[in-house]
Structure 1
């Protein structure tokens, strides 16, 4: 499929015409032009197929564009930018990159949203300029092998007091890009004598080159070249100046950033819907069967209409959530509902895209199969959609179900 043609169809298939301030519209136009010129889909397909090679060239392109500095204040070397601009970038990147957009998103969440929100001033001045310059990569190390969604109840990684710092022992899993990261944003239990499982947890900024850190790549369905890893920690020393925020109170600190993570995932899902829609439209207008272009067939038209409706639904919800967070409004229910709808619609739309393209949709020569594989993950993480529904119900006053 011709990427230049698909870029042209994107202009007509996207619904990015909601009432945005001029600054946001200008940023959106700049990002879309960059993505079309520098990150075409055929290049993204080639990157994704290299399972054993982290796409450093993608990281470098994002560095040259200055995108690693988005969300970081100018006094720390960043380019500033609010939540809406971060969502605009996430959406635009995922349109061609699919799940590889996480190359930007992981460090943005682990570094920018963590250090920027609850890091000390010394930590901000030490690390944020390096992140903004694209000189530092981070990975998230929260999930435990025996826990999955039961993150708090299954926490077995411990940190005990040592001379001038902490000694960490335990194991994490599904830590994306940990094998090329400089630091891990790691959650560990620092107090076992607690009434509630969310108490007694602390965040650490762990150098991956520390003695006792062993990182192993895991094979998986999608986002292959980005890599996801198991992390084993044996008597790993972390000094006090790499503790993030208050000891024993990490979960309360993390809650606002988890809302942001759900929004970022949803923006990636919306970008995938954009990519699916433009490819489906192009194919339907070119492919012939029974002496007609298949876009004349009602069944195909209905599939494309469903994809368009999903795009509009997710865009409206994402815009509303971004506005609420930007204005300091409570958004737990909204951001959680958004994550469910966005991930399920993205995966459904990618499946429809495969159906529209038929055998070519199943082929590695097109992007539909990549969009499907990547979007399938977001129905599971960073929170399963089943658990997310529990969160919504509980916050509506229903009894806890787990």
Structure 2
């Protein structure tokens, strides 16, 4: 296979890199992320002005077009400066454009995709439950009861990022309890956040602070039939291709963090002096840099492999899990080494290493824990199920 990006993707990458340096510098990202109580609408608006919400949406719906590889190029370049705040773009891209674009009806696509592409609609993911965590299927307690013209939702979700500013939430609920297997009888709903009975409460957390993550309570919430996505009771099979996409996107964000860490570390090592010389001359710190650069390249190759295969319509479930596992641990380790190289300044809120570390720490947990990823990889190699 060709390990180089196609020419149009390279041109797009270079354009986005220049745009990020000008419009989303790291010092601004630090200010935005630190403001825990205010969602960065200004960042969303910059994405809108640049047309980034339309990347991956077909031109017939007002988007910019572009395949999975182009979306991952964008994710990587955003995260180099923004770190976890790149999810401001990524959540709606996944929950809205990717989901509706893949399995929405023609009517749903025509209604929602142009608004997403224009930056007029924000979406959130409403999957995880307080008692479930990674065991989404085994502990899915949110229910959907069929009534005339729609469904009644009851339950509670947690870690629904940006739900407090979203227009819609992509929610999964159990709609049929009379099933043989726990992945059966599930339905996807496109729930308006202003629906009666929806209560959204922001949570304090370690990283990605200003983006906001929330609990969502559904108390007899009516959702019309027209807001059911794909086939009722069959949501899990519908979701699988998009879950692979989410893991690939996490890999791209992690690679962007590695890029940012390496960029900052090299700059600091060549301007900071100790014991009469630049600290970049110290062998131990050079080894840290070499390790980060090696993880950068291996992550890049695995990302390109997964995204290219998915763009061709091939199954990348196992490879996407491997990418998520490797990229999240590489990014978090790189950020940790970055803090070590900068010393006290790495721990300071005046630099970005601590932000990269806090943001990348989440990706070792979500959207699925790395322990569960390892279980799945081992099982795919013929070992017995361990959970």
Structure 1: where are the runs of 5+ without partners? 1-16
Moved over 4 A (4+): none
CA distance in 2, matches of 1:354, 1:306: 14
Alignment map for 1:85-234 (pairs within 5 Å):
85-234=70-219
1:227-277 per-position Cα deviation (integer Å, ceiling 9, x unaligned): 000000100000000000000000001000000000000100000000000
Matched, 1:304 2:289: yes
How many residues of Structure 1 are paired with residues of Structure 2 in the alignment?
386
2:223 paired with 1:238: yes
Structure 2 Cα separation of the partners of residues 174 and 327 of structure 1: 32
RMSD: 0.8
CA separation in 2, counterparts of 1:323 and 1:129? 26
> What's 2:19 paired with?
34
Report the counterpart of residue 80 of structure 1 in structure 2: 65
Once the two structures are superposed, residues 185-231 of structure 1 have per-residue CA deviations (whole angstroms, 9 ceiling, x without a partner) of: 00000000111100000000000000000000000000000000000
SS of 1:223's partner is coil
> What SS class does the counterpart of residue 150 from structure 1 fall into?
coil
Q: Which moved more, 1:333-342 or 1:389-398?
A: 389-398
Quick check: 1:256 aligned with 2:241? yes
Supply the distance in 1 between the matched residues of 2:163 and 2:295 (Cα, whole angstroms).
33
Q: Which moved further from structure 2: 388-397 or 315-324?
A: 388-397
Which of 298, 308, 317 is 2:302 aligned to? 317
* Equivalence for 2:384: 399
Partner of 1:373: 358
TM-score, normalised via structure 1 length: 0.95
Q: Which stretch of structure 1 is more off in the superposition, 391-400 or 206-215?
A: 391-400
- Confirm whether residue 345 of structure 1 aligns to residue 325 of structure 2: no
| Residue 18 (structure 1) shift | 4.9
Q: Which residue of 2 aligns with 1:385?
A: 370
Distance in 1 between residues matched to 2:151 and 2:318, nearest whole Å: 36
- Runs of 5+ consecutive residues of structure 2 not aligned to the other structure: none
TM-score, normalised relative to structure 2: 0.99
